[in-house]
């Protein structure tokens, strides 16, 4: 008779070893496990993450890439990823697609948009749905980063869904935050506002080609002026505004040089390690919040009480605040 427990342990060990050896099929299986909401998968995923963390000695470069829809994030990532691959870097792309609020589905079409990059043996592309998570990333992006790092990837690019000023979650899980902008989009003056621009380590005016070159140069000047109004960042890095044409590969080499300069500075002054430690703290707090929320809503008493309070609300026999208080007290 086959011992299922032993078989599962053996499969777990094989999966971990394959991930550490850079097997992309095993990497994809592990990411699917961590994205699963099943309790059995959650336990297995936690074991895999724990083993990968203990055995992984690699420190990757984590770069967040954001910008509004239509700014050309996928095209930019394909150009940057191809350039890095030619430098013999292993690149992982974690692309997050928006989920429908109605069907909960996602198209997950990033591989289609990066049709050349997906064929590159040095590059791994993993699309994931955003689900209900705010901030432009999925709630398991941090775990996916760890797994990609364990699989030997030198550089991990996180492409957000592109929802604008609210995309701040990715800032708390990367080393370098890159913001793509368009010239003539009407938001040049928003550089003086507090928000996502303040977080950026670099602003790239994309699609600087053809008839758009002059407008891109003008936008570069305006954003550079706006950035000069901000105080010095904790990293002591002074963000730059550059222009880029992803389809023509213009500016890609200069952008990578800026990123390298950033890492030289932050590793020398200690900010890199400090930021990584803060990321771990944020990850812990977010994981606790997610676990508490999942356990709360999956509790049978909570489900019943929510239904009861909804019926009372329909009959105007309670208020939303009173109903919420009742549900919370019932579930604690």
Give per-residue pLDDT as tens, 233-264: 999 999 999 999 999 999 999 999 999 999 99
d(CA 18, CA 206): 38
- Considering the domain boundaries, does residue 309 fall inside one? yes
Residue with the larger pLDDT of the pair 268 and 190: 268
Q: Has residue 276 been placed in a domain?
A: no
Is 278 a member of any domain? no
Q: Which domain holds residue 68?
A: 56-271
Task: Render pLDDT for 38-70 as a digit per residue (tens, 0 to 9).
Answer: 878 888 888 999 999 888 877 899 999 988 888
Does residue 264 belong to any structural domain of this protein?
yes
Same domain for 9 and 135, yes or no, is: no
For residues 44 and 118, membership in a common domain is answered with no
Residues 157 and 197 in one domain: yes
Residues 4, 85 share a domain: no
Yes or no: say if 219 and 105 are a contact pair by the CB < 8 Å rule. no
Tell me: do 101 and 125 sit in the same domain. yes
Q: In angstroms, what CA-CA distances link 71 with 112, 128, 277, 304?
A: 17, 20, 32, 45
The CATH number of whichever domain residue 262 belongs to comes to 3.40.50.300
Q: Which residue would you say has higher pLDDT here, 319 or 42?
A: 319
Do 134 and 247 belong together in one domain?
Answer: yes
Of 250, 271, 292, which residue is a domain's last?
Answer: 271
Answer yes or no: do 113 and 200 share one domain.
yes
Q: How many domains does the chain divide into?
A: 3
Residue 23 located in a structural domain = yes
Encode 222-259: b = buried (16+ Cβ within 10 Å), e = exposed: bbeebbeeeeeeebebebbbbbbbbeeeebbeebbebb
């Amino acid at each position: 008779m086959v011992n299922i427990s032993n078989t599962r342990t053996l499969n777990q060990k094989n999966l971990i070893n394959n991930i550490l050896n850079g097997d992309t099929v095993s990497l994809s299986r592990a990411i699917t496990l961590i994205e699963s909401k099943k309790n059995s998968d959650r336990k297995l995923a936690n074991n895999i993450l724990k083993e990968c963390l203990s055995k992984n000695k690699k420190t990757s470069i984590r770069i967040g890439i954001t910008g509004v829809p239509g700014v050309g994030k996928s095209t930019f990532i394909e150009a940057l990823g191809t350039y890095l691959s030619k430098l013999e870097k292993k690149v992982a792309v974690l692309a997050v697609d928006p989920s429908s609020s109605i069907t909960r589905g996602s198209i997950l079409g990033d591989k289609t948009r990066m049709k050349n990059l997906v064929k590159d043996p040095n590059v791994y592309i993993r699309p994931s749905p955003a689900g209900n998570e705010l901030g432009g990333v999925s709630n398991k992006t941090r775990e996916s980063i760890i797994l990609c790092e364990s699989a030997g990837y030198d550089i991990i690019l996180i492409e957000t869904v592109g929802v604008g000023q609210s995309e701040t979650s990715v800032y708390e899980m990367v080393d370098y935050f890159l913001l793509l902008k368009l010239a003539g989009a009407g938001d040049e003056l928003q550089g003086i506002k507090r928000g996502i621009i303040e977080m950026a380590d670099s602003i790239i005016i994309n699609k600087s080609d053809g008839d758009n070159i002059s407008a891109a140069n003008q936008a570069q000047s305006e954003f550079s002026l706006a950035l000069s109004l901000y105080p010095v960042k904790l990293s002591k890095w002074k963000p730059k505004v550059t222009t880029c044409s992803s389809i023509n590969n213009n500016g890609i080499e200069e952008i990578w040089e800026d990123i390298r300069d950033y890492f030289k500075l932050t590793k020398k002054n200690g900010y890199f390690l400090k930021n990584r430690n803060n990321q771990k703290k944020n990850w812990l707090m977010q994981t606790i919040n997610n676990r508490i929320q999942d356990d709360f809503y999956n509790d049978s008493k909570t489900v019943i009480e929510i239904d009861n309070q909804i019926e009372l609300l329909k009959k105007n026999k309670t208020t939303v605040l009173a109903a919420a208080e009742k549900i919370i007290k019932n579930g604690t």
